[in-house]
Structures are given as C-alpha cells and as structure tokens.
Amino acid sequence: MPVGTIARQRGASFRHSRQLRTPQSAGAMQAPGWLPAALGTAAIMAGLGMRRKGTVALALTAFASVAAIGALRGVTPDQERADGGGASAASEPEVERSITIGKTADELRQRWLDPGTLPQIMAAFATVQAIGDGRTHWTLPGPLGRRYEWEAETIDDRAGDRVGWCSLPHAIIPNEGWIRFRPAPADRGTVMSLRLNFDPPGGAVGDAAVALFGTTPIGLAADWALRRFKSLVETGEIPTTERQPAARADTR
Amino acid sequence: MRALYWNGVNDLRVGTVKDPEIVNPHDAILRVSLSTTCGSDLHFIDGYIPTMKPGDVIGHEFMGVIEEVGPEVKTVKRGDRVVVPSFIVCGQCWYCQQHLYSLCDNTHPKPELQAPLFGGHATAGIYGYTHAFGGYAGAHAQYVRIPFADNDCFKVPDGVTDETALFLSDAAPTGYMGADFCDIKPGDTVAVWGCGGVGLMAQQSARLMGAERVIAIDRFPERLRMAREHAGSETIDYTQVHSVLEALKEMTGGRGPDSCIDAVGMEAHGTGAQYAYDRVKQALHLETDRGQALREAVMACRKGGTLSVLGVYGLIDKFPMGAIMNKGMTVRSAQQHGQAYMDRLLTHAQKGELNPAYLATHRFSLEDAPRGYDMFKHKTDGCVRAVFAP
C-alpha cells in the first residue's frame, strides 16, 4: 500500500468515529490479570469464529485482541439504534492515549518501524515476526493448545506524520490504528499518541465472549504498549520480573 | 539460594528458590552481605496493603558485593562492594534528570496495578515490596538482581563499614531527604515524629544541615535515648506529657517548630479518642491509616513552616487541610530519591559525621529472619532494626 493512503482508504471509518465511551472504571483497572483475561477472551472469540467459519484466517492484532471486549462493551443496543443500526459506525469504538518520551519524533518513528521493536513490546503475550513488505505475522497461543495466527500491514504515512496499520481483508475483527508524533514543551521530548479503532463482530460471538469475561479496559492496553515502547527507547530495555526468584511456580 | 519470602499475612518463611539471573542488559547480580528490616515492610506483612503474592522474596534495604554484570553495564564490576538504594531507577527519563529518582518512569513492570491509586501515575519499582510497586524479588536472600546497575550501585569507600553502608540504602537517604525538604535556616527548630531508623536519620541529618534544635517525639525509652545520644535531640515521650502540642509550643517560645518531619506513617500509635477512632476505622478497613502523628505534626508547625512527610500512607481521613492552608504551610513528601543524596551520604559516612550502624541493634542469620522480623515488629528487647547476614 502506498504511503499516505491510509486516511483516504479508511477515511470513512475515521469519519464515523465518535468520542469513545470508556465505561471502564479505576476498579476494573485494579483487577490484576486483566491482560490474560482479555487475551483469553480473544482466543475464545477466535475459537468460536473458527468453528463457525472453518479455517478463516483470523486477522487480529494484539491490540485488537486486548481491546475487543472493551469495544463490544462500549456499545449499547440503544446507541446502535440511535445510530441507525448501521453496525459499522455504531459498533466502532476508538481510544486514543498519549505518552511523553524524551526522544525526537524521527527517533521514535525509526524505532517503531524497526522489525525488532514490536516483538519486544508484545513479547509478553504474542509472537510477532516481520515478514517483509511492511507486514507482520502474529501468533497468539490459545486454550487447549490452539494457536491463532494473522497478519497485519504497516503503513508509514510520512506526509500525515503518522505510522498506521490495518488488518488484512477477511478479518473476523477488522481493526486499524496509528501512532502520531507531536513536539512536547521545552525539553520534554515528543508526545506520542496511539489510536486504536475496531470493527467488532457483534452478534453471537461477541455476546458469548462478553458473557464469559465482562469488560476489559481498552485504554489500558494502549497505555501498556506505550509505556513499554517508552522504556525501550529511553533506556534500551523493558522493565521485567521474568525469570526472577520466588517461592512459587510462576515467579513473575 | 536461600531467601526470606512472604507466605501470607503474618507468615514469613525461609526457603530455597532459584538464583537470580541477568535478564536485561543493564542488570547486575549482587551477592548480599547485609540486609535489614524496614517499618514499611510491616504494612504488607500485616496485610494492610495488598498485591503481595505468596512466595514473594522480600527486603529492600541492603548492600553487598557485585557477582556478575550484564553486557551493557559500564562502570560497575565484579568484586565491587556497593550499596543500592531501594528504588530502581533508569537514570535516563525526565524524572531521573530532575533527580526525582523514586518517580522514575521506566522501572515499574506492572504500572497497571499501581496507577489507578495515583491518578494514572506510577512510581519507580522497589525491591521486594508488593506487586503494586513492581513485584521485583527482594534482597533478604543470598543474591539479588539489580536492574540499571550503573545508576543504582554506589561503591562503598574504604573506611565505611558494611553496617554503616547498609543503612545508606534506605533509612539514611530517606531521613536525609526529609531534612533537606525543610530548607533549614540558622536558628531553626526541627521536630521529628518517630525515632525508628528513618526518624533517627532525619534528626542527625537536620543537625548536619544546621538546625539549632531538634526535638524527637516517640514513646520507647531506648529509642528516645538513642535520639539524645546519637542525634543530640531533645525528646518528648508522648505518653508522659499532657499534650505534645503544648510541650512543643513551650519549648519553642510559643512559635512552634519551624519544620515538622513525620517519620511514622500509617501505623502510628497515639493516645486518646483520635487514636481509638483510627484503630476502629482501620480494623474495619474504612481507612488504611492511623494518622495521629501526621495530624499532630500539621497542628504543631509554626505559621509558614514546612511539613515533611516521610511516613508511608495509603488513605487517611480527618486530615487538617484547613490548618495547612490557613497557616500557609509548605508540604513536601516523597519516597526516597536516594540516588540524589548518595554521594553526600557516603562523604558524611567517611568523615564519621553520619554513623547509622548503631541502628543495627539485633543481628541474625538469614535462616532466623522470621524471628528477626517478629522482634522488630514488636520492638522486643529494644529492637530498632534487625539485620540479616545470608
């Protein structure tokens, strides 16, 4: 996809975007283990989808997997009716989160596009591989030994000062997003914003997942990715408690 | 290796766990020489603050010898005898550049557990101090992993003993920072609530910074004696006076102390109705803290004075904000920015101006650490700090 096409091709969905309802309270954020729960949800949704549609390729970025339930929960039937019942616009939640990083926009863009970066940021829950042509291949381990795989496409939109991505066609949960850079005041570096945008499936699949897991904060997923990226670019590493001593099986 | 771990509320155990390893490139592995108890450990041992997991290795005040370094460690090397501040800091972020080290942006692996409590912000990570503070393995162990070793390990000069260096990890920098917050001027009187390790260090530091008088408030005779003998403080036993406020006012010619340092925190003891109120609310989990020392410090302080809060708090109510506002007070507080003070502290220690080794009233092998914590908690036999040698 040529540079600069993201806004045109996906313009319709951006145009319909509304202020995201973020019903998630601080209480939801305090629940430890929200990420695994969200991933489990994504895996189950994927499993349901696969049973229904056979071996349809699951196009789902890690962001989407975390955020999908928040997305589903962000839309009430009333709101869908008010929006004319058009599933695409009504069920399209977005979230935007920002972080300030002590580096220039060029440094951040370069690091984000580095094939080694996404695998490090996502290492805790997905395996990401750069497969050329600006595409990434994602593998998410699911329940009962299942593996879910998909591909996403990166779009470096230099004119719009953004780096975007979108799921490839036939995605069960079409999704897209971008990061954007703006200068921070004085010596504070660069404000990097991350926007996530979803087209959740709704219907039986979504309802089942919601019934199983409830609300998961989409904004937290964005915060989490941004913080890991900031640490990586500012210090060269991501803080971790992996492989540390503790008197239990999972020592993290 | 052997390590002390939290197995549940009021249940500490020593067991065998895997050795730590280099995980990130700026890591080092420290062979622990000495570690010590801290009053803030009692908050999770007693179950007042959550996010501990059974099996967590605890301990955040320690020193030792570098055993191994990661590929990106430049200045620290195997064999160095070092002290390590309790907060893990990256040295690169904006907060580190402002020397606000305990606010480091890049060392908390689990900010989602903490940020909701603090308006979406997260502190730096700490060793062995709950998952809300990062969930890092602690230092009551034979070995501990030190992230960002070049920023966080400080070589101990010859002539400074292990026992002195040990307390430069937390008690001394916390107390020193508390005195620094007071911006002490000639003629100033500084009142310090609490004569534990941090309170005694705050008193000595206030002296070093030129305070004319230091007044210490506690109830344990042996601690008040230490305040007099080691910090040159005047003392108030709050169980022996009608009113601490009146006593302080009389001692300061009716002005009140220029600065008041709270080195007590959420498990303050006190007397009277206010204390009973706090005990009941804390027991019912309606507030996490008993705040008598903090409230008293606010009320005692002179007009335009400084309140320096070193005690660790969660939620407190009946906080006298009106007194702070109407008396035009300055409130300063932080978890310790130890890296900002370490060079000064090591120099003071080398010159013999600051000798915190006397805090080490009781010494145990690591195997006896649960007993050490029990004595520390109950202040048995005048225990100020229990020190463990693996």
Tell me how many degrees the CA angle A109-A114-A116 measures, rounded to the nearest 5. Answer: 140
Question: Is the predicted pLDDT of residue A25 greater than 50, yes or no?
Answer: no
Secondary structure E strands in chain A: 94-101, 127-130, 135-141, 147-157, 162-167, 175-183, 190-198
| Per-residue pLDDT at A81 | 36
Tell which residue, A164, A197, A191, has the closest CA to residue A101.
A191
Q: CA of A245 to nearest chain B CA: how many angstroms apart?
A: 5
- For chain A, the structural domain boundaries read 6-15+32-235
CB interface of B with A, residues 187-216, below 8 Å: none
Q: CA of A218 to nearest chain B CA: how many angstroms apart?
A: 12
pLDDT tens per residue across span B113-161: 999 889 999 999 999 999 999 999 999 999 999 999 999 999 999 999 9
**How would CATH label the architecture of B2-170+336-389?**
Alpha-Beta Complex (3.90)
Cβ B72–A188 below 8 Å, yes or no? no
CA dist., res. A117 & res. A179, Å (int): 14
| Per-residue pLDDT at A144 | 66
* Mean pLDDT in residue range B10-23: 98
| Per-residue pLDDT at B146 | 98
| Per-residue pLDDT at B52 | 96
* Mean pLDDT in residue range B33-51: 92
| Per-residue pLDDT at A225 | 87
Question: Is the predicted pLDDT of residue A1 greater than 60, yes or no?
Answer: no
Fold of B174-333: Rossmann fold (3.40.50)
B20 in A contact zone (CB under 8 Å): yes
Superfamily of domain A6-15+32-235: START domain (3.30.530.20)
* Mean pLDDT in residue range B23-36: 98
- What percent of chain A has a predicted confidence (pLDDT) above 70? 48
Chain A CB contacts of B97 under 8 Å are 102
Question: Is the predicted pLDDT of residue A74 greater than 60, yes or no?
Answer: no
Greater model confidence, A162 or B361: B361
CB interface of B with A, residues 47-86, below 8 Å: 51, 53-57, 72
pLDDT band of residue A20 (cuts 50, 70, 90) is very low
Cβ B23–A240 below 8 Å, yes or no? yes
Cβ B90–A102 below 8 Å, yes or no? no
pTM of this structure: 0.83
| Per-residue pLDDT at A84 | 38
Q: Mutate which of A241, A242, A250, A252 to disrupt the B interface (most B C-beta within 10 Å)?
A: A241
Supply the mean pLDDT for chain B: 95
pLDDT tens per residue across span B315-366: 888 899 999 999 999 999 999 999 999 999 999 999 999 999 999 999 999 9
Domain limits, CATH 3.90.180.10, in chain B: 2-170+336-389
Cβ A245–B3 below 8 Å, yes or no? yes
| Per-residue pLDDT at B228 | 98
The set of residues, in sequence order, having a beta carbon less than 8 Å from that of B267 and lying 6+ positions away, is B39, B42, B43, B46, B48, B289, B290
| Per-residue pLDDT at A64 | 33
| Under 8 Å between Cβ of B278 and B286 | no
Tell which residue, B160, B194, B190, has the closest CA to residue B302.
B190
CA distances from A97 to A100, A246, B38, B244 (A): 11, 34, 38, 49
Question: Which region among A215-219, B190-194, B209-213, B242-246 has the lowest average model confidence (pLDDT)?
Answer: A215-219
From B24, B56, B94, residue closest to A102, measured CB to CB: B94
pLDDT band of residue A58 (cuts 50, 70, 90) is very low
Greater model confidence, A194 or A84: A194
Supply the mean pLDDT for chain A: 63
Chain B CB contacts of A223 under 8 Å are 111-112, 115
Cβ A243–B23 below 8 Å, yes or no? yes
Chain A CB contacts of B115 under 8 Å are 29, 223
